[in-house]
Each structure stands twice: as structure tokens, then as C-alpha cells.
Amino acid sequence: MTADTRPLAGKVALVAGGTRGGGRGIAVELGSAGATVYVTGRSSSGAGRSDLDRPETIEDTAERITAAGGRGIAVRTDHSRPQEVRALVDRIAAEQDGRLDVLVDSVWGGDPLTDWEHPLWEQDVETGVRLLRQAVETHVITSRYALPLMIARGSGLVVEVTDGNTARYRGSFFYDLAKSAVIRLAFAQACELRPHGVAAVAITPGFLRSEAVLDHFGVTEATWRDGVAQDPHFAHSESPAYLGRAVAALAADPQIMAKSGRALATWGLYEEYGFTDADGTRPDFGAHWARSLEAEHGPLGDPL
């Protein structure tokens, strides 16, 4: 492979929350670009599943990273526990001579905690606050301990993975608050990191074909188009690889500081960087929304 196809060779990345979905897609594509990728989560072949009780594991993601051409290293970590995150970062520093080039905060796990049926005043407060801790506090803890490695080198990229990149309400109070807060985390980190040469961005996929979404439609990634009969908007969905390729392109961009502080989307980046989805297509959910959903649901909203 040439340097053009392995632009992240020699780079070190940490994908927090890389067990499945967008986090896994990012981790694998960073590996495909040549990076050494530490992938973390709570579902492990050795320590059992997380409370989501899904079959994907961090070891499986690490194997996919290595198979793609990188080096995958699985480290079971609960990112709500500062001591575990500190130990993780200490390990990276020791094994990589203090190097960390890319930090991806992709911890989520909030699907079973999201109440889509009730307004705030009818929701269970403890469940809602637990969602915020799982989806926001974990990102804060991870950045707190990982950022010093980047600051010491005077370079790096932080990627906060969210849902949506505008101020449009996302349909559930605590879900909306969590995803909006993650965008603000990227902006705040960008402001504090700019003097140190480190960039921070938020990024959203479109209609993401995560493992859970594929299961919902009763399809696989190979047969996903069979799900369009159930939901025509599914025809404009994208695989986790699309998000991963967007992040890999950002990580390889020597002018990334110009984007620091922005909330980005896969559909706003594919033309600039020239990447495609795994099947060679270039889904543009933003354009689809404008054509088919805006009349019923309103515009995506103003940028945050």
C-alpha cells in the first residue's frame, strides 16, 4: 500500500465506545488508513456483555481493525469510571511512547434509556440523568485524561460523535440534550485546545445502518436494501464505514485546524474528501431530508 492509501501509518488512535455501530466503523477505517487503534467498551469476549446484552465485542472490532491493515488493541474500559480511563491512557502512553494522535469519543449506550413517548414532565428522572451520565459524562472523563498526551505533542484531533449537527429538536428531551451537549463539548474543547495545536470537531452520520438497526429491519449489511420496503427513507441510509471514512479523512487532513470547533456531517464531507460508502455509493441524507422530509418535519435547523 502507498502512503496515499495509508495516510495514518504510524499514528495512534483511541476509539472510546468502539464495540459496535459508528464507533466500530470509525475504528476499522482508522485501521484501514494505517493507524494503531485502541478500541474500548464494556462488551468483551473475556469479561462478558454490557447491559445492552448485544453480541458484539471489542475483541471482534480489534480483529477487524487488524484485518483492515492497521493494528487493533482491545482494552475493556468503563468510561464512566475515571480510574479505568486513567489506567487506559497510562497504558497507551507507556506502549506508544506518549503518542496519541486521534481521540474519538463515541460512547453512547443510551438507546434503552431513551423515552420517545413522553415529555420531560412525565419521564423518569433517574433514567434520564443516567442517560446523560452515560452519553456526556463519559466523554468528559475520557477527554480529561487523554488530552494531555496530545497537548504534550502539540498536535492531534478529538472527534465527538453525535446525532445531528443542527439545533433541530431530536424528538426526546434527554436524548436531545445529550446529543446537543456532545456538540458543545467539541466546541469548548476546540477553544481550549487551539493554542496547543489540537483540533476538536463533532460529527454526525445520516441514517446509520448499525447492527441494531439492521436487526430491527431483519436484514444484514449484505441484504440491507430489503429493508426499504418497510421504510423508504432506509434507501438513503449509510453503513458505519461511511462515518469511519469521514473521520479517517479528517484525521489525515493537514489543515484540520481550519475545521476545529465545527459540527460536521458525513453528507457535508464526502464531496470534499472524495470518500464513498463500502458499496461505492455516496449517501447524502441532508439532501434527502431537504427533498423528502423537510415539508413534514421542517428544516434540519440552524447550525449549532
> What does 115-163 look like in DSSP terms, one character per residue?
-SSS-GGGS-HHHHHHHHIIIIIHHHHHHHHHHHHHHHHT-EEEEEE-S
Cα distance between residue 65 and residue 58, in whole Å: 10
Q: How far is CA 183 from CA 64, 154, 159, 186, in A?
A: 28, 23, 10, 5
Provide the pLDDT for residue 296: 85
Single-letter code of the amino acid located at 234: F
Q: At residue 273, does pLDDT exceed 90?
A: yes
User: What mean pLDDT value characterizes the chain?
Assistant: 95
pLDDT tens by residue, 186-244: 999 999 999 999 999 999 999 999 999 999 999 999 999 999 999 999 999 999 999 99
List, for residues 39-56, the tens digit of each pLDDT value. Answer: 999 988 877 666 777 888
Q: What are the phi and psi torsion angles at 198 (to 5°)?
A: -110, 135
pLDDT tens, residue by residue, 126-160 = 999 999 999 999 999 999 999 999 999 999 999 99
Residues in the chain: 304
- Active site residues per annotation: 175
Note whether 35 and 47 are within 8 A (CB): no
Q: Does residue 292 register a pLDDT over 50?
A: yes
Please give the share of the chain, as a percent, with pLDDT higher than 90.
88
Do 146 and 14 contact (CB within 8 A), yes or no?
yes
pLDDT of residue 3 exceeding 70, the answer is no
Confidence of residue 304 (pLDDT cuts 50, 70, 90): low
Contact 204, 265 (CB under 8 A): yes
For the domain covering 12-297, report its CATH number.
Answer: 3.40.50.720
Phi-psi group of 34: left, alpha or beta (phi > 0 → left; psi -120 to 50 → alpha; rest → beta): left
